[in-house]
Amino acid sequence: MMNTRRYWLLLVLVLVQAGCSIGGPSRPSEFYVLNAEPGTPIAGAANRQLVIGLGPVSLPDILDRPQIVTRPDSNRITLAEFDRWGGDLNKALVRVLSQNLMSRLNTDRVLPYPWSSTGNPDFQVAVRFFRFDGEPGKSTRVEGVWRLLNGSGHCEYSTQRFRIEKQPAGDGYAEFVAAMSDSVADLSQQIAEKIATTQSGCE
């Protein structure tokens, strides 16, 4: 009986060691965040003290996940198991767009959707992303559509498609995410310039 127990214990230890040696140690995950890129206040908005409502901001389900999604070709995606977003990507986009718009429109009042119904902002900006991917070391692509509306959301001033491509400065995910941040900054500049030249008040 004792010999049988020792045999099974030895067998389990051998199997555990074999599994460890075959699989090898897995590398720790790396986590990345989008960064805001402050810009120069646009002349048309310098003294207006605007209140901007930002949202809804939406991503396709395929992109709204912890893993960084890359697209080596048009019909295939790759999930980076060890290179992940350091938080919810949708919320990160709202945060970065808010900070970028604040600096470019010289305002500290960018309200995330949904905002209080007791007071409407001067403008509402809704952003829908179709793509937020690319291929590390080659290119990033940020694509979608944004809409500029009045504060109540009942009147549309403008609808703009956007497609922004960047070449990362290196082959790694850090450079890939930095290029993504640059793309969001370019998108923020487009939106801010349109707001600065639009008079609110259409009903």
pLDDT per position as a tens digit, 111-153: 999 987 667 899 999 999 999 999 999 999 999 999 999 877 6
Q: Which residues of the chain have pLDDT under 70?
A: 1-25, 46-47, 117-118, 153, 202-203
- Bridge partners for 158 per DSSP: 148
The β-bridge partners of 135 are 139
What's the confidence (pLDDT) of residue 186?
97
Percentage of the chain modeled with pLDDT above 90? 67
| DSSP 3-state of 19 | helix
Please report the pLDDT score of residue 21 as a whole number: 42
The DSSP output letter for 88 is -
Task: Report the pLDDT value the prediction gives residue 149, as an integer from 0 to 100.
Answer: 94
Measured distance CA(172)–CA(179) in Å, rounded? 11
**CATH label, 27-196, candidates 3.40.50.10610, 3.30.365.10, 3.40.50.1110, 3.10.129.10:** 3.40.50.10610
> What is the structure's pLDDT at 101?
97
Question: What was the pLDDT predicted at 22?
Answer: 46
Q: What per-residue confidence (pLDDT) applies to 14?
A: 55
